[in-house]
A and B are shown apart, each in its own frame.
Chain A
Amino acid sequence: MKTKGEVLLALSKVSKSFGGLRAVDSFDLDVALGNITSLIGPNGAGKTTVFNLITGIYRPDAGSIRFEGRELIGRQPHQVAKAGIARTFQTLRLFENLTCFENVLSGQHCRTSSGTMSSILRTPAQKREEAEVRHEAERCMKLVGMWDFRDELARNLPYGYRRRLEIARALATDPRLLILDEPAGGLNEKETGDLMELIIGIRDSGITVFLIEHDMQVVMGISDWVSVMDNGRKISEGTPCDVQRDPCVIEAYLGIDNDDDFCFEASQEPEGTEIS
């Protein structure tokens, strides 16, 4: 039974500069357990950088990132994944020359331990592990509806399925937090609808979801909580409705010229938000 309001991932005053450019500026965010949290903002706001900071590709200059209470900073990407955070990539990084099944199998690598000798000798433990791994991969593929493509090479997949494969692969790592970087990018209306259903299904199965997205239909449709970034800083956060109406957000996206400064630091705790 998940506890609403418990914080799974906490970013606190996280900053990152590249040369003279402040990509992320004292960023705070709490991702609540069991929620779908979205991070939105104009292009170049620093959203993917936040993802890369969480997953260990970059190291923050300041601040802390705590996952399930433990500090993530300093961990390498594969350690972050092993700790329970899985991700997809904005530009899609599939293992192109391997089959879909092999792609999804990769997720199980960090959950298994057969070594060189046991693999050569095919010990009973190794055989058991192989069966479990294949079973799990099959489950993940069926969850996203890709089981029929299992023997197809990833490079031959049509675009809409490529995204789904990446999600299946991420799910195969048995994560507690799934980070999706613009999962709806390039999808048509129907595919977007299917994706929304899929993400909600993932959330309902107990995995917390954190996503970057530009498609407002997706963000408003499935998010429990939305955080808005611009120029590396958080400029607003709240439920989808709150954020939609926030003048700061409108200004950031549409650039309305306004002398009055409406913006203030939005730093509420996401307590007991309604799950629609």
Chain B
Amino acid sequence: MVQLIDVFKAYENGTKALKGVNIKLEPGEFAFLVGPSGSGKSTIMKLITGEIAPTDGTVVVNGFNLVNIKMSKMPFLRRSLGVIFQDFRLIQKKTVYENVAFAMHAVGASPREIRKRVPYVLNLVGLDQKAKMRPFELSGGEQQRVAIARALVNNPSLIVADEPTGNLDPARSLEILMLLQKINELGTTVLVVTHEKALVDAFSQRVIAIDNGRIISDGMDGYYSYEEV
């Protein structure tokens, strides 16, 4: 599913973001990637989504080797992923339905498929009653649900969420993570990047901790292990 083998990443300004990272995520797994700001979490996210390439090492995602992937293959990698961002990244002029349908349009789905799939996904995230509303008419939690629906609509095998609760209050954050857990239980692999200790500890899931570009712990012991290092 996701495999990072001895990955190094140095940016053009000389910053060494990753120093020999090894991560393996099996199909159907749920994992948190935790660490302080500047630890290398976002770099790992960008490597997985193909936004950047590693300086050294191997990155394999859903069968695509991202070290030597051709640009023409990149859309197909991204169709196998669902990406969720902290700032939702919704199109304000489109309705909830259109925001989700848009992701299907972009991959060339037929109108019939779109009419069938979008209501199902909106129902899954609990927004079927708000399909005609626009993002600015929704709360932060609801907007993030739209983003989750959009990430989910093309039926990806892996969902990566970059600080999905960063803009939400604790109650809404818990709801969002419970929704992601529900999606995981339906068979989708989920990787959540966060730095919210209480939230991570509320779930008994695998926690991968990173600091200063190195993996410092990887297990089922919650965020606590990271804090103790």
Q: Do A and B bind each other?
A: no
